[in-house]
């Protein structure tokens, strides 16, 4: 096997309706970030009503990108009050991702979570969320202005203070970075066994990792996938994720050869 073998990276799927038909989809920016940021081969993981056997799927993958999305996690999954009638939810995605996240961590599969992916990681470990940060009176505005061009929406928004001694600090090599901000929800109570990796100036948790994980397990509230190759900090995160995925690929391949 050559050293330039590309890892197989699962990409979580949202579900939505196309006319009368339910479809599974992942945004192109996430897919291309796997290709250009992690030098991987993206494979979309479906979010079925009755999820496929997670161990069977995960055993074939070298990493997982848990994407952001327009939907929010159903509040009853973290003990929250039901959302209003205007809430955009995706029960099938919740059912799928919240099941396989702990399994992936236990199996030592590298994980990079983005925005909703950070919230899913937190909920999977028993954490809770603020449904509307802007209504708490505690935080700055973290939502994007949807009337502006994408480059403005995903432009630099605020700094994050990176916690010393953590995974992100080792990756970034700095105490502070400027990130974008494109979200309405955020972490309230941190899940058990999770570490805070970065916080916004207003105190909102912006990045987390899994304590004692066998492999790379990092999630961020911002969007490093957007124009990933044009941002050094984003590329640094993706390259660290990619290195863990390549290592996982070699270990998986060698284990297969020993079984022959």
Can you tell me the distance from the alpha carbon of 117 to that of 121, in angstroms, rounded to the nearest whole number? 6
Check if 223 is active-site: yes
CB atoms closer than 10 angstroms to residue 8? 18
Catalytic residue among 115, 120, 130, 142: 115
Active site residue 245: no
The backbone torsions φ and ψ at residue 243, rounded to the nearest 5 degrees and listed phi first, read: -60, -40
State the Cα–Cα distance between residues 174 and 36, nearest whole angstrom. 24
Say which of 130, 142, 183, 223 is annotated catalytic: 223
Q: Are 215 and 224 in contact (CB under 8 A)?
A: no
From the list 130, 183, 225, 245, the catalytic residue is 225
Could you list the active site residues? 115, 223, 225
């Amino acid at each position: 096997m050559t050293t330039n073998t590309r890892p197989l990276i699962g990409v979580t799927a949202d579900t939505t309706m196309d006319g009368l038909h339910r479809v599974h989809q992942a945004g192109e920016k996430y897919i291309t970030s796997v290709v250009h940021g992690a030098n991987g081969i993206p494979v979309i993981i479906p979010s079925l009503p009755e999820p496929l056997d997670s161990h069977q799927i995960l055993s074939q993958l070298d990493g997982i990108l848990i994407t952001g999305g327009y939907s929010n996690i159903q509040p009853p999954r973290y003990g929250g009050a039901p959302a209003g009638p205007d809430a955009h939810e995706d029960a099938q995605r919740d059912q799928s991702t919240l099941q396989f996240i702990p399994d992936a961590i236990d199996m030592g599969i590298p994980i990079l979570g983005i925005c909703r992916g950070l919230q899913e990681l937190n909920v999977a470990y028993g954490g809770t969320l603020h449904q509307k940060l802007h209504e708490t009176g505690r935080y700055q505005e973290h939502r994007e202005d949807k009337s502006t061009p994408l480059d403005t929406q995903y432009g630099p928004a605020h700094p994050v203070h990176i916690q010393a001694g953590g995974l992100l600090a080792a990756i970034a090599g700095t105490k502070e970075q400027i990130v974008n901000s494109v979200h309405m929800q955020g972490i309230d109570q941190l899940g058990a066994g999770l570490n805070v990796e970065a916080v916004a100036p207003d105190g909102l948790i912006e990045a987390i990792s899994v304590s004692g994980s066998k492999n790379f397990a990092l999630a961020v509230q911002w969007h490093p996938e957007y124009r990933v190759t044009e941002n050094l900090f984003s590329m640094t995160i993706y390259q660290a994720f990619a290195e863990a995925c390549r290592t996982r690929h070699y270990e998986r391949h060698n284990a297969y050869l020993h079984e022959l």
